[in-house]
Structure formats: structure tokens, C-alpha cells
Chain A
Amino acid sequence: MDIALTILVDGLIYGAWLFLVAIGLTLVFGIMKILNVAHGALYAVGAYAGASLVGGYLFATPPAALQLPLLIVAALGVALLLGPLLEGVLLRLFYGRDEVVILLATFALSLIIEDLIKQVWGVYSYYVSEPYALFGVIEAGPLFYVGYDAFLIVVAALVGLGASAFLRLTRQGKIVVAMIHDSEICRAMGVNVSRAYLWTFTVGVFLAALAGALIAPTLAVTPTMGVNAIILSFAVVVIGGLGSVEGAALGALIVGCTRAATVHLWPEGELFIVYAVMAAVLAVRPRGLFGMPEGRKI
């Protein structure tokens, strides 16, 4: 019984991280039909920005109360700098082309950003471990959990609920939902679709950078962390159904728990179980658990 509980908690922690990375990816795809391969690289940029600001690399380590706000500021800075730049200058050139062409464009972008990271921050690992101790240790029976991990679960839940509420309850959210269904009609009704795309992409970048900045205290920040994150979050959003927030949450939980179970029960399978689950889900439901079938166009 203990092992089941451990798996569940580990899965929840891992799933929270996955969800934080994946939600930006799925939102951008859902709204703009762009599968942003560079999402992982942006996540890495967020982690580096957070580490530089809080880890004592740029200036002395800030006091405890300022550490979390500064991590968020770092993510915000990355988003406001890179979001408008990438969408407004670059991606805009590819609108109207095949989905696959845009996939290639963002693939190119991820290669570029990954090398720029190496140019700016070098190839060595960065550490920003101070915030990890902010919430102390939680004792759960015989087991100990780091408070920061619980904090990440709370953040993931808040971000998910926030996105869901925004899309359902606010005027802007409803416009976005309308855009998902038919951007041309929206334009005809007077919605400024290009501005909405700019905002959507910037929010996507912010979510990627936020995930990176918040996860940075729990691991070593390296140039390759983006690659690992992007393929896992692909699996998550594809399992849930590309473009669906609820799907990403469910996908993150499924992947998180499956991986935790595999780590505990069958360690050899750890590296590929996620993709095996993804392949199994896709084989049964080609568009993911929450995915909508697409009509054929003549």
C-alpha cells in the first residue's frame, strides 16, 4: 500500500512539472495551430534567466522573500523580450503555409536558441538551489517531501485553473475560443486577430519561461534541458489531445504516474515508458484523449 501512495505522490510532483511545461505548448497549438518545437528552448532560457537573477550570478543572492517574485520577473522579462520578437518578426512570415512548414521553422528556431544559450551563458551548469529550501520539508508518515515540490503542484493547479477560467469566463477568453474555431470570421467581426496571436504567443513564451524559472531550483540548469523537456511535453499534450488544457492536465497526470510507477517497479523501462503510453493512446485515439476530429477539406 505504501508503494502505491509513494507512486501517486511522485507522479503528482512529476506531473505538475510536466503540466507547467506543456500548458504553454498546448495553448499555442490550440489557438495558433503552431506546434512550437522551440518551446523547450524557451523553457531553458527561462531557467537560465531565473538562475542568473536569483542564483547569485549577476548580483548577490536576494533575500528569501524576494526569490520567488524574482523568478517570476525573470520569466516575464524573457516573455516580453522574446515573445513579440519571435512572433512579430519571424513566425508571421510563415502564416498560411503548411502546418509542417511551421513545425520546421520552430525546429530551426529551437536549434538557434539552444546555441544562443551556449553563447550567452556558456556550456557549464548553473545552480540556483536557495529557493528549493524556502518551504522546508513536509513529513508524511515515514516519508519526507520537499516543500518546494508541493509548491510546484499548487502553482501547476493555479496556472491550469487560471487558463481554464480565462478561456471560459472572460470576454478576451471567449474571443480566443472563437478564434480557435474560425479566425477568419473573427477577423470579419472586427477582432484584431494578429494582435491576439502576438499576445497568445507571448503568453506561451511566458509559460515556458515560468516553468523553466520555477523548476530551475530543483535541478542543474544545462543547455540541453530544453531538449529533454520538449519531447516529454510533446508526449503529454499528444496524449491529452493537442490544444486542450484539460487534456494536458490529464496527460501530465497519466505520464507522471506511469513514470513514477515504472521508476519504482521496473527501472529499466523509465526512459521509454512515456513514449510507449503515447503510442498506445495514439493507436486507440488518434487525436488524443480530448482531441477533436478534424473534418476533411476538399
Chain B
Amino acid sequence: MTLRPSPAPAGRALGLAAAVASAILALLLLAGWAAPSWAIYTATIALAKGLVVLGLVMLLRMGLISFGHGMFYCFGAYVSGLLASGAGLTDALALTLAATLGTAALGLLLGLLLAGYRGVFFAMFNLALSMILYGALLKSVSLGGSDGVSVPAPSYFGLVPPDGMRSLAAYGFVATIACAAGFLLWLVSRSQLGLVLLGVKGNEIRLDYLGISARRLILVAYVLSAALAGMGGSLVAIVSGHVIPEMAYWTTSGEFVFITVLSGPGSISGAFAGAGVFEAVRLATGQYLPNAWQLLLGGFLLLVILFLPDGISSLARRRTGTADASAPPAGRVQGEG
């Protein structure tokens, strides 16, 4: 059975979603104009990390958790960073595209190996692979070792923003990409592919009987999640001007898993909102309670998996009682950018 991108979202739903995505983008840009510069930087990083979370949300819909996506995040960041510092390519869009494609290729390579694993093994195999990248980067003198690589300031379509505008330009760029990616993911979620993904979690053997290969589905979703993680990493590299091996360390991956579980598998905007809340809370606790940050995270995570197995975004859904009763509750797909 070949998977077609149908049942196509009706033209009106499609238009509505595109309108919602554009509206969110416009709101984000407007908010960026008014916000103080520290908030802009935090929001930019949060949006970029939200992309990584988006990829993990796809995996979570299949019941898979990866404790190693820091690997793709780091890989994308290094591709961008090395292209910018070594090859002198500074166009932000070109860098991000190159990093995304490069990471997708890596994801395909590893995905072929990983698609046969589930549960704890999938999570831990990813962890091992990410630690290989971390160790290799840490010891490679030519790639900066533990100091990492600094990334020169980017240009946008041939224009270099003046000093005072740099963070705002980066924010606008990242917000645009995040909204576009969110919209595309919404399309994927609504497609036949996106719907059968839920079946991997539900019952693999029934999928087999439908003539759908769970292995291939996992591979597709894995490559997608890797590409998104690479994109996020590349954006962080461009925005922060620096890449370090710690981006592949397992605590980074743990953070992504944390945000993913927190925001839940249901919603796309929830992934970005989760990343935003995470970065904001990190900023606040870093300021006031530097040694209680993980305590807070851990406690919160326990509460969420105990009482809100579908994540925080399920709260909003429960309250508004969103329609679309035909979709299974665990992976109900919301119509939002």
C-alpha cells in the first residue's frame, strides 16, 4: 500500500491553517518588535529548539523516545558553523538548508540501523550514538575540541543587518522558519502518513496486516525528526555565533525529551510553547535558584507523566473540547500552525 497525502485537508481547512500560521508569525514578529533584547534572544533560541522538539513529537506519536537527538542538533550546528567559518558561506538560509539536508542524510544512515528497535533499546541506542559524536568532537583538534567553533555573523539574502538590528533580524528569520516548519508538519500530521504513524504505537502487527511496514514508517519519521533537529541546531549556531560539543551531550538530549513529554504528542504549537516555557523558566531559575533547576524539572516531569500523560497541551484540548472525534485521543492532531 502506498501512502498518499490524503485524506487531503479540504481546501478551506488548508487555507485556514495557512492563515493561522501567518497570523501566528505576524504576532511573533510584532511581539519581537516590542520586546527587550534579552527576551528576543531567549525567544529565538526557544523557537529553534522548538523545531527539535517538533521532530521528537513525531517520534512520540509512534511511542518512541530518543535520548540522543542532541546528536542531530549538534551535527546540524556544526555543519552550519563549519560552512560559515571554514567555507565563508554566511547566508543564513543557505546554511540552514545545507545543515538540514546534511542531518537528514545522517538520519537516514542511522535510521536504517535504528528502525528495528523499540522502547528502551531505541532510546538508549540513540544515546550511545550521540555520545560517540560528543566524544569525537571533544577530541578532534581540527574542529576546535572542547572550545567548539565560532560562527561568523550571518547575512540574510545578501544583506548584513547593522549591529543594533542583528538579534531582531535573527529572530525574524527563525520565527519565519519555525512557522513554515510548523505548517508543513501540520500538513504531514493530517496526511495518511501522519495518521498511520499513530498505528505504530497502537498496534504494529495490525499495521503489518494492512500492508504497511512499521519499519519504513519509523525510518521516515526518524529522518524527518533528524532533519528538524539539524535545522534547529543550525539556527542556534547562526543566532548564538558558537557551537560546542556539549550540544551532543546526553543532558541536551534529555532536555529535548523533557520538553517533548511536557508538551505532549498532540499539538504542534505546543512544541514551541513548551520550548518557550522551558527556556524562560531556565532563565529565571538560573538567576535565582541555580542549584534547584534540575530538582524543579524532575518534579515537574514526574507530575506531568503521572497526571497528564498526553502533555500540557492536552489541558487546553480538554477545556475547549475540540472536535475531530474520529482521531484517536493519544495522538489527536490539532488544526493549528
Using CB atoms and an 8 Å cutoff, list the residues of chain A in contact with chain B. 35, 90, 93-94, 97-101, 103-105, 107-112, 114-116, 118-119, 123, 227, 231, 234-235, 238, 242, 268-273, 275-276, 278-279, 282-283, 286-287, 296, 298
Q: How far is B144's CA from A184's CA once the two chains are assembled, in angstroms?
A: 55
With a cutoff of 8 Å between Cβ atoms, the chain B residues found around residue A282 in the complex are: 117, 121, 125, 128
Question: Contacts A111-B301, A286-B116, A298-B203 given; 6 further ones with Cβ under 8 A?
Answer: A90-B302, A103-B123, A105-B305, A109-B298, A112-B299, A123-B291
Instruction: Select B139's contact among A105, A111, A112, A271, beta carbons within 8 Å.
Output: A271
With a cutoff of 8 Å between Cβ atoms, the chain A residues found around residue B117 in the complex are: 282, 286
Question: How close is A39's CB to chain B, nearest CB, in angstroms?
Answer: 13
Question: How close is B115's CB to chain A, nearest CB, in angstroms?
Answer: 11
With a cutoff of 8 Å between Cβ atoms, the chain B residues found around residue A99 in the complex are: 119-120
Instruction: Select A104's contact among B121, B124, B257, beta carbons within 8 Å.
Output: B257
Instruction: Select B309's contact among A35, A101, A110, A271, beta carbons within 8 Å.
Output: A101
Q: How large is the interface on B (under 10, 10 to 19, 20 to 34, 35 or more residues)?
A: 35 or more
Interface string of B128-143 (1 = CB under 8 A from A): 1101111110111000
Q: Is the CB of A115 within 8 A of B128?
A: no
Instruction: Select A115's contact among B124, B132, B261, B298, beta carbons within 8 Å.
Output: B298
With a cutoff of 8 Å between Cβ atoms, the chain A residues found around residue B139 in the complex are: 268-272
Question: How close is B291's CB to chain A, nearest CB, in angstroms?
Answer: 5
Q: Is the CB of A279 within 8 A of B65?
A: no
Given contacts A275-B131, A276-B132, contact A283 B120 (CB under 8 A): no
Q: How far is B295's CA from A97's CA once the two chains are assembled, in angstroms?
A: 23
Interface residue? B109 (CB, 8 A)? no
Q: How far is B298's CA from A187's CA once the two chains are assembled, in angstroms?
A: 33
Question: How close is B314's CB to chain A, nearest CB, in angstroms?
Answer: 15
With a cutoff of 8 Å between Cβ atoms, the chain B residues found around residue A104 in the complex are: 65, 257, 261, 301, 305
Interface residue? B35 (CB, 8 A)? no
Q: Is the CB of A112 within 8 A of B305?
A: no
Q: How far is B134's CA from A270's CA once the two chains are assembled, in angstroms?
A: 12
Question: How close is B216's CB to chain A, nearest CB, in angstroms?
Answer: 18
Q: How far is B125's CA from A272's CA once the two chains are assembled, in angstroms?
A: 13
Q: Is the CB of A238 within 8 A of B124?
A: yes
Q: Is the CB of A275 within 8 A of B128?
A: yes
80-132 of chain B: CB within 8 A of chain A:
113, 116-117, 119-121, 123-125, 127-129, 131-132
Name the CB-closest residue of B to A29.
B120
Q: How far is B119's CA from A287's CA once the two chains are assembled, in angstroms?
A: 12
Instruction: Select A227's contact among B64, B134, B251, beta carbons within 8 Å.
Output: B251
